[in-house]
Amino acid sequence: MIASAFGVLFDGLAYGMLLFLLSVGLSVTLGMMNFINLAHLSFAMLGGYTAVALTNNLGWSFLLTLPAAFLAPALLSVVLERVLYRRLYGASELDQCLLTIGIVFVSIAAAAYLFGTVQQAVKLPPYLRGNIAIMHQSVGVYRLFLIGMALMVAIAVLAALEHTKFGAKVRAAVDNQRMARGLGIDVDRVFAVAFALGSGLAGLGGALAIEIVGLDHAFALTYLVYVLIVVAVGGLGTIGGSLAAALLLGVSDMAGKYYVPQLGAFFIYLVMVALLMWRPLGLFGRR
Amino acid sequence: MSAAAVGEPQRYLEDQIKWRRVELAFWAATLLPLLLTPSYLVLASQIAITALFALSLDLILGYAGMVSLGHAAYFGFSSYTAGLAARWGWGEPISGLIMAAAAAGLLGYVTGIVVARFQHLALIMITLGLGLLLAEAANSASWLTGGADGLQGVRMWRLFGVFLFDLYGYTAYCYALAVLLLAFLVARRITYSPFGLALRGIRERAIRMPAIGANTTAYLRKIYTIAATMAGAAGALLAQTTETVSLETLSFQRSADVLVVLILGGAGRLYGGLVGAIIYMIARDQFSGLNPQYWYFWIGMLLIVVVVFLPNGILGGLARLLPAARRSA
């Protein structure tokens, strides 16, 4: 029983780290522009399919595809930001929801057209497969790798936000957009860059997710709820809050699936609604 | 304060509530399918149900400005209530409809207490969460709902003990149309009442309304309950006319669909949901040979185009075009 508890905790941790990667970009962009981007996971899906296409069709090593999985959605998000998103800053949240749901529908159909509706798989290099023993517990190498990657990203993002000039601008814009504009910060530009980086991170998460949760055409909708929960519970624009919320969600979801499978996702939704009712700004939200 | 100033809002409302000729023509035209396209009556009753559902969303979204991504919760809840009532031996349609709509209204009242307190992102998340919660509950309770197979064995009695719900859909269409018209009259009365004006005030500026003494949460709670009841009537109609209920009635897809229908027609103008339902359902019927995946591609494209180029829907676009056309003529 103890061994399985450790296993559940470890798997939950890996899953939570994945959710963190998928949601951190949304947390920052939502906090800064109040732009409700329901299409965030469409970018993650693009990252995932980029990795699949490169490994399976072109024979790239999985590790080499990760930068591509970051770059492709980042570039696309720059284009979309210019063409579509920019028109709706300051528009009603309904319009923002509708536009981004539209993008989700289009991306799902495009994925189904290009890759079919089957679950995709990537071929992992041998050194990422199998299990190793840590403290007499067997753990999956890939999950260990995933946790390591996500921790590195979390530290990098945190360091960038706290210690670079760009990060200071982002924090200023999240805290008070009008004041930041008044100080001469080009918030639109800062937002565009943060948006691209966030989409890139989502793409990276999407590629890393394939081995854990799979990838199919409906990914952009299936996991949207989880990402929204992380953002809503963690609070907007706080990296630490997102990380804590993602881990909490990952572990509790994994525990729920192991111990009370008949409840399905019911428990998670219940926790989310209850938490939102209790603290609408999220557990760690400041505004 | 002069008498004229007191009378003005009253007269404003009285002017608004007068029936226009276009409206009468529209409702007369709803009888046309019975004469012209009797083979499409099943589709026509689906349109009427969708229109009723969109109308209920219009009350909270178009008039009170509450965005909901989980409106299917009330639709599906009532669908299951009506379906289960018929399955358990009470197949009388009208009392079944009233009971199911009341159940949805009760659910709307209870959830409305929570929902009315929130705005913006939290509101969207809460409605989304509640909708998913209910869908997941129905999925888990497969002993009650039939799970993914849908609810089987729903047998309706004859309407008024006379009219059978047949395959051709005569009864279904007339029944759905009558309920739609009734609900529309209620909605019309509400939106042109002082209560409706208060709702529009909340939509325009939620912070100012308490300053003039309006209890905004109470108003929102009230309209949310009414909208849930109306969505429930639509759901019950679907269950009764198709004699089956599936999990799809509770799905996020349905919440999103009705949003698309309303936005396509134009929110906040009563007829928006009706016009949207006609166009959406006929288009879906025409493209039914298409894989549903690709149907959603066009829906997605449509959403993007409507939001970017046609912010007030088709009716909004027409309203803007007509005066211009008149001026140039």
Residues of the domain holding B166: 8-291
Torsion, Cα B105 B108 B113 B118, to 10 degrees, reads -150
- CA-only gyration radius of chain B, Å: 20
To which H or E segment does residue A138 belong?
strand A137-140
Chain B interface disruption, residue of A113, A273, A275, A281, most B CBs within 10 A: A273
Pairwise CA distance, residues B30 & B51, whole Å: 12
Flag if A34 and B122 touch (Cβ within 8 Å).
no
Q: What percent of chain B has pLDDT over 70?
A: 94
| Number of domains into which chain A is organized | 1
Q: Are B302 and A217 in contact (CB < 8 Å)?
A: no
Q: Is residue B16 part of a domain?
A: yes
pLDDT of residue A160: 87
Enclosing domain of residue A45: 2-219
Res A150 pLDDT > 50: yes
pLDDT band at residue B7 using 50, 70 and 90 as cut-offs? low
Q: What is the pLDDT of residues B249-286, one digit of tens each?
A: 898 889 988 998 998 888 888 898 999 999 989 888 88
**Mean pLDDT, chain B, integer:** 85
A:B CB pairs within 8 Å: 112
pLDDT digits (tens, 9 = 90+) for B131-171: 988 988 888 888 888 777 788 877 777 777 777 777 678 88
In chain A, which ranges are continuous DSSP H helix?
Answer: 2-33, 40-58, 62-83, 93-115, 141-163, 165-175, 177-182, 187-213, 219-222, 224-234, 239-259, 266-278
Total domains in the fold of chain B: 1
What's the mean per-residue pLDDT of chain A?
Answer: 84
In a domain, residue B47? The reply is yes
B129 touches chain A (CB under 8 A): yes
Average pLDDT of A8-37?
A: 85
In a domain, B167, yes or no: yes
Query: What pLDDT does residue B3 have?
Result: 46
pLDDT in tens, B280-310: 898 888 877 777 777 888 888 888 888 888 7
B256–A263 C-beta distance less than 8 A: no
Q: Is B301 within the bounds of a domain?
A: no
Mutate to test the interface with A, among B128, B145, B257, B298 (most CBs of A within 10 A): B128
Chain B residue closest in CA terms to A94: B67
Q: What percent of chain A has pLDDT over 70?
A: 95
Question: Three-class SS string for B117-185?
Answer: CCCHHHHHHHHHHHHHHHHHHHHHCHHHHCHHHCECCCCCCCECCCECCCCCCHHHHHHHHHHHHHHHH
Cβ contact B129–A276 (<8 Å): yes
Q: Does B306 touch chain A (CB under 8 A)?
A: yes
Q: Is residue A189 part of a domain?
A: yes
Q: Does the complex come out with an ipTM higher than 0.85?
A: no
**Residue B2: pLDDT band by 50, 70, 90 thresholds?**
very low
Is A151 part of the contact surface with chain B (CB cutoff 8 Å)? Answer: no
Note the pLDDT of residue A1. 43
For A67-89, write each residue's pLDDT tens digit: 999 999 999 999 998 888 888 87
Q: What confidence score (pLDDT) does residue B104 get? A: 95
Give residue A79's pLDDT: 93
Q: Does A185 touch chain B (CB under 8 A)?
A: no
> Does residue A24 surpass a pLDDT of 80?
yes
Q: B252: nearest CA in chain A?
A: A221
B6 touches chain A (CB under 8 A): no
Tell me the pLDDT tens digit for each residue of B56-106.
Answer: 999 999 898 888 989 999 999 999 999 998 888 888 888 889 999 999 999
- Judge contact between A226 and A249, C-beta under 8 A: yes
User: Which of chain A's residues have a Cβ under 8 Å away from the Cβ of B132?
Assistant: 225, 265, 269
CA A150 distance to own-chain centroid: 11
- Does B230 or B206 have the greater pLDDT score? B230
In a domain, A106, yes or no: yes
**B126 → chain A, closest CA residue:** A273
Chain A partners of B252 at a C-beta cutoff of 8 Å? Answer: 221
Place of tokens 């979801």: A253
Q: Is residue B131 part of a domain?
A: yes
Q: What percent of chain B has pLDDT over 90?
A: 29
Minimum-distance CB partner of B297 among A106, A270, A272: A106
A222: left (phi over 0), alpha (psi -120 to 50) or beta: alpha
| pLDDT value at B1 more than 50 | no
